């Protein structure tokens, strides 16, 4: 599954057990701008660095798996939990191109007269 949105929070890497670590991050999804949703994702073990180098506020695309599991409390109560396990995160913003380095004539027009 894929989703696009704005990265609004990145948590620290948490070492849960000797061989299991996780990192949570939150993406604001504004399919309906009147009611934006803040969705919690997690990345685990060797993927905890997926959001390194991506700034809060950046538009991103997250590829993830939806996971669910059943849990029974010591009192016998049964509950189900869902997690969104991210396995790929990429920034969507592209660098802007400026024309300030292009030659312009006196009228401000770009000179397309190439010497070859």
Q: Divide the 116 residues of the chain into consecutive groups of 10 and give the mean pLDDT of each group.
A: 95 94 96 92 95 94 97 96 96 58 50 53
Pairing mode of beta strands 59-72, 37-44: unpaired
Q: What is the CATH number of the domain that holds 62?
A: 2.40.50.140
Token pair recorded at residue 103: 């030659």
Domain that holds residue 41: 2-91
H-assigned helices in 1-116: none
Q: Give a yes or no: residue 10 inside a domain.
A: yes
Residues 6 or more apart in contact with residue 11 via CB below 8 angstroms: 23, 24, 25
Q: What is the pTM of this model?
A: 0.74
Overall domain count for the chain = 1
Cβ atoms of 50 and 70 within 8 Å: the answer is no
């Amino acid at each position: 599954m894929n989703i696009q949105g704005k990265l609004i929070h990145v948590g620290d890497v948490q070492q849960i057990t000797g061989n299991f670590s996780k990192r949570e991050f939150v993406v604001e999804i504004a399919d309906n701008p009147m009611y934006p949703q803040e969705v919690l994702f997690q990345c685990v073990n060797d993927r905890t660095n997926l959001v390194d180098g991506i700034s809060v506020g950046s538009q991103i695309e997250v590829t993830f798996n939806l996971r669910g599991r059943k849990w029974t409390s010591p009192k016998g109560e049964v509950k189900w939990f869902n997690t969104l396990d991210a396995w790929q995160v990429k920034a969507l913003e592209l660098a802007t191109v400026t024309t300030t380095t292009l030659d312009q004539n006196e009228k401000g027009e770009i000179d397309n007269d190439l010497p070859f």
